[in-house]
Amino acid sequence: MKKKKKTSLFKVIFFMFFFSFLVIYFSEVTGYYEYQNHQKKNLTEEQIKKFEADVASGKEVDLTKYLVVEDNDYNNKLSKLTYKISQGISKIVESGVVNTFKFFSRLIDE
């Protein structure tokens, strides 16, 4: 019988980091991040021009009309699950720390 080779955890983690690095590197090389910032800058400049035109024409100005706020909702099942897991871990660590200090305080009080 042939034995299957087990891939080590180190190799899997290494390749995940390497792949992540490549994705980030190529997004930087292609200028994706700069393009996104350029688009935001252009949008802001357009809003400033509209604001100045409205002020010059004497219109009533409300700053909330000119602010562009992206309200993205990033909640999904995975983020909710990881949040619950982190809350559970936090409770466990907190109770461990509290119980440890209670134990040491009892030792000191005796």
pLDDT digits (tens, 9 = 90+) for 89-101: 999 999 999 999 9
More confident residue, 89 or 74: 89
What is the value of pTM for the model shown?
0.36
Q: Which two tokens stand for residue 35?
A: 């393009």
Cα gap 105→110, rounded to integer Å = 9
Residue type, 88: G
Residue 84 CA, distance from chain mean position: 17
